[in-house]
Amino acid sequence: MRSRRSISDIVAVVLLIVIAIAAAVIIYMWLSGLIGSVHTSTSATQVKLEITGASVTPGTNGGYNVQATVYNPPDSPSTSITLGELEFTNGTMLCTNNTPITISPSPSISPGHSATLSFPCGTGSAASPGTPVEVVLVTTQGVQVSYTTSVS
pTM over 0.85: no
Whether residue 21 is predicted with pLDDT greater than 60 in this model: the reply is yes
Question: Tens of pLDDT along 106-117?
Answer: 888 999 999 999
Which CATH number does 44-150 carry?
Answer: 2.60.40.10
Amino acid (one-letter) located at 6: S
Q: Are 69 and 104 in contact (CB under 8 A)?
A: no
Q: Which residues contact 10 (CB under 8 A, 6 or more apart)?
A: none
- CA-to-CA separations, 145 to 23, 86, 138, in angstroms, rounded: 41, 12, 7
